[in-house]
């Protein structure tokens, strides 16, 4: 099962390596991991996408909570939540393909943020499967490079993770 785990931790040097080290030492999966300081610069917010049985996920949340720098852990998958990921895609855009690419980007509510006479760079935001769908919708031969941030997640409604 895929789980999205959100956590707040002290924004200290090495905080990321404690989490990453825990996952590798205990052989847990990491699909993606994103981290940045919050509005309170002493705190880092991390979103980890992982997979595992219920037992493994329970161990992951307990082990994360055990890290001395971790303040709070929430399995977003336990309730309604929103997840978003940002992708930048650089594609070849020449001839008739140029117009077609623009239309496909529009359908996916992507924005073209850099243009040359031979390329577009498209910015797309959404859940991971939407970004996957865009990549499937275009000709793989025109893709020059892609970069994805990994998912960030947040609970719906009143559900929140704060100190």
Q: Is 63 in the site for other proteins (CB under 8 A)?
A: yes
Q: How far is the CB of 12 from other proteins (least distance, A)?
A: 9
Q: Which is nearer to other proteins, 70 or 122 (CB)?
A: 70
Q: Is 41 in the site for other proteins (CB under 8 A)?
A: no
Q: Is 57 in the site for other proteins (CB under 8 A)?
A: no
Q: How does DSSP assign the chain, residue by residue?
A: -EEEEEEEEE--TTHHHHHHHHHHHTT---SEEEEEE-SSTTEEEEEEEEE--HHHHHHHHHHHHHSTTEEEEEEGGGS-EEEEEEEEEEEE--THHHHHHHHHHHHTT-EEEEE-SSEEEEEEEE-HHHHHHHHHHS-GGGEEEEEE---EEEESTT-----
Q: Which stretch binds other proteins (CB under 8 A): 55-63, 84-92, 93-101, 129-137?
A: 55-63
Candidate list 27, 41, 68, 141; residue touching other proteins; CB under 8 A: 68
What residues numbered 132-161 form the site for other proteins, per CB under 8 A? Answer: none
Contact residues for other proteins, defined by CB under 8 A: 9-10, 13-14, 17-18, 21, 25, 55, 58-59, 62-63, 65-66, 68-71, 163
């Amino acid at each position: 099962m895929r789980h999205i785990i959100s956590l707040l931790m002290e924004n200290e040097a090495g905080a990321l390596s404690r989490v990453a080290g825990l996952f590798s030492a205990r052989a847990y999966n990491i699909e993606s991991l994103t981290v940045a300081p919050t509005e309170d610069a002493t705190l880092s917010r991390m979103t980890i996408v992982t997979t595992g049985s219920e037992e493994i996920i329970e161990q992951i949340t307990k082990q994360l909570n055990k890290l001395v720098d971790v303040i709070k852990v929430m399995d977003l998958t336990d309730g309604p939540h929103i997840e978003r990921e940002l992708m930048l895609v650089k594609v070849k855009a020449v001839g008739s393909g140029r117009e077609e690419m623009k239309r496909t980007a529009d359908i996916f509510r992507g924005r073209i943020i850099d243009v040359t006479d031979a390329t577009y760079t498209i910015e797309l935001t959404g859940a991971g499967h939407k970004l996957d769908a865009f990549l499937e919708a275009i000709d793989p031969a025109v893709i020059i490079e892609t970069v994805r941030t990994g998912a960030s997640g947040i609970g719906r409604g009143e559900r929140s993770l704060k100190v």
